[in-house]
């Protein structure tokens, strides 16, 4: 099983420049709903392995990008394409919502 990597704020700009499309799960260890979607994010990473990078960022340790992209409540799953946010899914949603959002942009 794929384990979704955690990234730091410092790695974010590199991603924006190097990845044509990627998914970031803005999360925190204390967040119950975040834990609830964690398996869905893992499933997404596995389903799109080699096509779309799926990552997590801990908003407690990495506040810069959470602020920059207006993340007010978590879980917040943002999909980036060409360096821009193209989808913003907040809260606990069905797996299909994630796949539908990703499919629109690949």
Q: How far apart are CA 102 and CA 47, in angstroms?
A: 11
Any idea what the CATH number is for the domain that residue 44 is in?
3.40.30.10
Per-residue confidence (pLDDT) for residue 2, from 0 to 100: 64
Per-residue confidence (pLDDT) for residue 60, from 0 to 100: 96
How many domains, in total, are found in the chain? 1
In this prediction, the residues of the chain whose per-residue pLDDT falls under 70 are 1-2
| Domain interval for residue 24 | 5-103
Per-residue confidence (pLDDT) for residue 1, from 0 to 100: 55
Per-residue confidence (pLDDT) for residue 3, from 0 to 100: 80
Per-residue confidence (pLDDT) for residue 35, from 0 to 100: 96
Active site residues: 31, 34
């Amino acid at each position: 099983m794929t384990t979704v990597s955690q990234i730091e704020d410092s790695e974010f700009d590199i991603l924006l420049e190097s990845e044509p499309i990627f998914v970031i799960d803005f999360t925190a260890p204390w967040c119950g709903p975040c834990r609830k979607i964690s398996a869905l994010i893992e499933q997404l990473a596995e389903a799109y392995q080699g096509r779309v990078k799926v990552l997590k960022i801990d908003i407690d340790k990495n506040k810069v990008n959470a602020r920059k992209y207006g993340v007010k409540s978590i879980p917040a799953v943002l999909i980036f394409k060409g360096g821009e946010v193209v989808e913003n899914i907040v809260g606990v949603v069905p797996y299909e919502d994630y796949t539908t959002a990703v499919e629109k942009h690949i």
